Amino acid sequence: MKIAIVCYPTFGGSGVVATELGIELANRGHEIHFITYRQPVRLALINSNVHYHEVNVPEYPLFHYQPYELALSSKLVDMVKLHKIELLHVHYAIPHAYAGYMAKQILKEEGIKIPMVTTLHGTDITLVGNHPFYKPAVTFSINKSDVVTSVSQSLKDDTNKLFKIKKEIIVIPNFIELDNNRNETTISCHRSVMAKPEERIVTHISNFRKVKRIPDVIKIFYKIQQKIPAKLMMVGDGPEKEKAEQLCQELGIEDKVIFFGNSNEIGKILSYSDLFLLPSETESFGLAALEAMAWSVPVISSNSGGLSEVNFDGLSGYLSNVGNVDDMANKALEILKDNTTLNTFKANALSVAERFDIKNILPLYEALYYKAINDKK
């Protein structure tokens, strides 16, 4: 198949999922065309089946905000015609599904029928998409998609609750490439750089937005380090980072917390981690938790959104109510209290992650693609 993938090219979960999905599809012989305004951060153009097409938005004095949706629609039309693309897979309802629909209509005028699969990831529905300014366009875009998927049952339920959806939404969970983890045998970073041998390493990775409840991460760790020797690895960047650094100073634990900023060496950090914290207000899925589990790192998370669909309470880690810092800290200490308990949770975390191996998930997408293409014939 010849497939165009439209996504955000950032460190965020949807961009990572879209990129890794495309790369794996290319490895299976499909021709993949990434169409976005910048090369995705995890995309290395070393596969003859992978192509990247940049969307350029020319500046024009008339526009206060440059019309990206218009430029994207036009680029999709051009690429479909030039490369004979058979299917569009857009990640995020806005603006991608909206632009995709416009491209479909333009192509239809020229006698070209092309199906569009829209994958909902979370904030396009629960945060941005539910805003009154965007809600009609989001509803329209979803209903005009040929196939709609969501990354969790929780997100599917939220979408149906918030919008008047006429399409069936198919749940296909996010995934992890376990072979990539197991093949990373060369770790240039050594554990001693981050912590002493007797210290447990606790990690958090996110975009440091309010929804991630960054102060809770700090407070949970504060309680952990009061009981056992520990270090906290904070990976990522965003609006809450400076406040988190200030809170560490106020609590007197700045020497026990390392702020990495955005990093392309997530695997190296997780490979030495003992516990992952994700106390978010909500998560449509919890991809960061899954990535941690794939490195045999148990997870302490809130029980909000789709987190319970990936972090199995009492097996891969523990779930707590949003904001219950004391409970999260106590459950963290339960896991970290001795090596036997910790190793059991580590093994269980990897076992759960194996259920989400891309080899199990990718065939679900392939089946949808083939059906969508055949239905258009």
pLDDT of residue 62: 64
Q: How far apart are CA 115 and CA 108, in angstroms?
A: 11
Rounded average pLDDT over 258-271: 89
pLDDT of residue 39: 82
Q: How far apart are CA 292 and CA 284, in angstroms?
A: 17
Q: What is the pLDDT of residues 281-296, one digit of tens each?
A: 999 999 999 999 999 9
Angle at 180 (CA atoms; ends 38, 203), nearest 5 degrees: 80
pLDDT of residue 182: 54
CA distances from 234 to 94, 208, 267, 278, 296 (A): 30, 9, 14, 11, 18
Q: What is the pLDDT of residues 115-136, one digit of tens each?
A: 999 999 886 676 554 567 778 8
Q: What is the pLDDT of residues 196-249, one digit of tens each?
A: 899 999 999 999 999 999 999 999 999 999 999 999 999 999 999 999 999 999
Reported pTM: 0.87
Output 39 or 242, whichever has higher pLDDT. Answer: 242
Nearby residues of 376 by Cβ (< 8 Å), 6 or more positions away: 113, 114, 115, 146
pLDDT of residue 229: 97
HSE-up of residue 141 (Cα within 13 Å, Cβ side):
29
Model confidence at 57: pLDDT above 50: yes
pLDDT of residue 131: 65
Rounded average pLDDT over 145-153: 95
